[in-house]
Each structure stands twice: as C-alpha cells, then as structure tokens.
Amino acid sequence: MPQRLASGPVQEELRFQADGPGADGVIAGAQATLGRAALDDPGPSAAGATVPQLWLPRALATGISRYVALLSPGVRVVDSRVAAEFAELLHGDVEAIINVARLNDIRFLNQFFAAAHRVLPAGGILALGFETLHHRRRRIRAKYPAGLASIYYVLTFLFHRIFSKLPGLKRFYFAVTRGYGRPLSRAEVLGRLCYCGFEVVELQRSESRLHVIARKVRPPESNPHPSYGPLFRMERVGMGGRPLQIYKLRTMHPYSEYLQQYVYERNRLAEGGKIRRDFRVTVWGKWMRRLWVDELPMLVNWVKRDLKLVGVRPISRHYEALYPAEVRERRRKVRPGLIPPFYADLPRSFDEIVASEARYLDAYERHPLRTDFRYLCLALHNIVLKRARSQ
C-alpha cells in the first residue's frame, strides 16, 4: 500500500549533500509522500520524528525552486509509478508535484500525467525526470566494450522501439517488460506532457537524467487515441478550413505533433520554411524525407480526392497562423496538393515561401489546368536534375 507521511509538528527538511546517491542533490523529508518501499532508510527529522527520505537531484531542486518554494506545504514529493496510486498519495492543497521515479519505468505515461493534471490547480507545477536516448547510449557505452556496446544498443533498440509499437508484438512486449526500462526520447516525453495539458517551462540536465518542469495551462487534448505507430494520420487544414487527415510514415518521435509550438518558439524557421534544429526528427526520418518515402501514404489522400497532384502544401493550424491573413484565406479556397509550389521556385525563407504560394494562387485562379501542368514540369525538373529534397 502507498505510504503517506505524517504532517503537523513535523516540518519538512531539505538539505544539500555532496555524498548522496549518484550526484549532488537534496534530501526531501517530512512533506514527501512515498509510493514505493524500496527507498533509503528513514532518517531523523528536525522535530525528532523518523521519516522516510527521497533524493532530489540538485539540478531538479534548483530548477523547481524558481517556480515554487520547496518548503511550501503545497509541494508534494513522490516516488510513484502507477497513476491510481499516484492520485491516492496526493492530499490537501497541492501546488506542485515532484516525482522522483524515472518515467522510463512507468508504463501508462498518459494516465500518469492525466492524474497529475486532475490534482493540480491551474498554473500548478509538475516536475519529473527520465533517461533520454542520449543518456541511455552513454550508459551502455560505459558498461560494455565498444563492439559489444553497439550490438547491444541496436538489438535492445529494435526490441524496445519496434516491438512496443507493432500490433500483436506490442502485447508481448509489455507482458515481458511491464513497461520497465523503456527508452524515451526528449520529444516523446515533452509531446506527451503537451498532449495532457501542460506546457514545458524548463529543462535541467543531470548526469543520468533529463529533468522536466511543466506547468498546467489548459485541458488535455480531446483525441483519445493519439498516433504512436510508424503509419499515422496528422491533422492539416483542408479546403474551406476543414480538418484534413493526412496519411504519412512517421519521421518524428511519437507525440511530436503536439510539440510544434514549443519547438517553433525556441528555434524559429530555417531555410526552406522548416523548423531550425528540429530535435523531433529521427535519424531514419531524415533519410526517409530525402527519399520521399514518408509521403508515399499521401497517395491515399490523392485517391480520395483530399489532395490534388499540384497545390499548396497541407499545413498545420499553427503553421497556417504564421501566414498573412489574405494569403491564409486564399489558400483555403483551393485543395492542397501533393507537390507544392515550393519545388518549382525553391524559396529559401518563410517570406519567400509565402510569396511563391501567392504567385501560384494568382496563376491558378486565372488558368487552373495550365498552371498545375507548368508547376508540375518545373517541380520535376528541380527534383530530378537539381535533386531538391525535403529537409
């Protein structure tokens, strides 16, 4: 059963130490709430009572102290891996939750984040940590000889990242692992938090984890079945402004679509109109984009007449909001296309992309068939001879 600590005269005790488990950190005492028994031995509190202690990495403690006072009675420190248990542990007025359990060991992450969302008030803080793919790769390389480390990393990567997503194998994967030790990318964790109604306000790195500090800002997304597998549908703006479900092969980490505004606000746009230094794109995703493999499922949209062969690129509502209002309205009057004007003009900046699409729309409004044929020829010339590719 989950353990709940006594309150009253026993005060929370926080202290920095240099000899704690793994790295400098903070010991959280009496106000901590425990969801696991496998913790350090209890230590004496300031009032003489014996209370369990939880280790907070210094990076996490330093980061969260910028948003809430660690000694506040509304701060709850927990070590929990189950959503139902997690919600049960939290009692009274809660302004911040610090979970010291690794997210890699929590199977139902969305349920876990949703439980925190229900407990926290608007503006409440959620702090947690996980082992990123980078941390995992470094840990394996430190543990095994170079050749063996590479083989082990590839085999475990295929098991964890492929088996956990494919129908049939997914059930076998979770029966074997129970969700423990799952590799998690930075993009997936941050995307899941945004999906569950949080905004990411700060990241703190320690030797073995990436610590995330998030704030509750909105209701969770309404989509009850977000895409996780290699073939997925993403919502784009269609003709008349209606939602359009576009089929694609995944080139980004799962839940990346919920992270677009976060990445754009920090990195802005690179040449060609794509987001600069977009960490959401996987290594194999870059290869798939160069070969156009990721867009092959869009032929289904073409057959269904959601798209025409040549036309403005189907874009997200966030990206559409960057366009001038006039161009935005004109785009909504035509069907999007498989091959956008971008490949005919090869614009470099976002403003040039807008101007390129405006020229296409001018010509299309006068001579639709002639314009699409001319742009198709120009695009094929650039794709075949100049090797123009998506970034």
Are 61 and 70 spatial neighbours (Cβ–Cβ below 8 Å)?
yes
In a domain, 288, yes or no: yes
CATH code for the domain in which residue 66 is found:
3.30.110.40
Q: What is the pLDDT of residue 162?
A: 78
User: Measured between alpha carbons, how far is 104 from 169 in angstroms, rounded to an integer?
Assistant: 19
Could you tell me the two tokens for 241? 């402004």
Question: Which domain covers residue 46, as residue numbers?
Answer: 14-132+184-216
Whether 172 and 188 share a structural domain: no
In a domain, 222, yes or no: no
Are 66 and 60 spatial neighbours (Cβ–Cβ below 8 Å)?
no
Whether 267 and 139 share a structural domain: no
How many other C-beta atoms lie within 10 A of the C-beta of residue 122? 9
Mean pLDDT by 10 residues, the chain (391 residues): 30 35 44 36 38 67 87 86 76 87 92 93 95 93 90 86 77 84 93 96 91 96 79 92 94 92 89 85 89 92 96 94 96 96 92 96 96 96 80 59
Q: Is the dihedral of CA 283, 289, 291, 292 positive or negative?
A: positive
Whether 157 and 252 share a structural domain: no
Whether 238 and 379 share a structural domain: yes
Q: Is the dihedral of CA 54, 59, 61, 63 positive or negative?
A: negative
Are 214 and 200 spatial neighbours (Cβ–Cβ below 8 Å)?
yes
In a domain, 112, yes or no: yes
Whether 120 and 212 share a structural domain: yes
User: Measured between alpha carbons, how far is 113 from 221 in angstroms, rounded to an integer?
Assistant: 12
Whether 251 and 261 share a structural domain: yes
Query: 28: buried, middle or exposed (CB in 10 Å: 19+, 13-18, 0-12)?
Result: buried
Whether 188 and 158 share a structural domain: no
Whether 255 and 374 share a structural domain: yes
In a domain, 349, yes or no: yes
Give the total number of structural domains in the chain.
3
Helices (H), 120-245: 133-143, 146-162, 169-177, 186-195
How many other C-beta atoms lie within 10 A of the C-beta of residue 211? 22
Q: What is the pLDDT of residue 21?
A: 41
In a domain, 161, yes or no: yes
Beta strands in the chain (DSSP E): 14-17, 25-28, 33-34, 43-44, 50-51, 54-57, 75-79, 96-102, 125-130, 198-205, 210-216, 231-237, 243-249, 308-310, 337-339
Q: What is the pLDDT of residue 264?
A: 92
Whether 199 and 348 share a structural domain: no
Q: What is the pLDDT of residue 70?
A: 82
Q: What region does 16 belong to: left with phi over 0, alpha with psi -120 to 50, or beta?
A: beta
Q: What is the pLDDT of residue 391?
A: 59
In a domain, 8, yes or no: no
Whether 288 and 370 share a structural domain: yes
**φ, ψ (nearest 5 deg) of residue 3:** -105, 130
Whether 151 and 70 share a structural domain: no
In a domain, 334, yes or no: yes
Could you tell me the two tokens for 221? 């997304």
Whether 255 and 114 share a structural domain: no
Q: What is the pLDDT of residue 105?
A: 93
In a domain, 9, yes or no: no
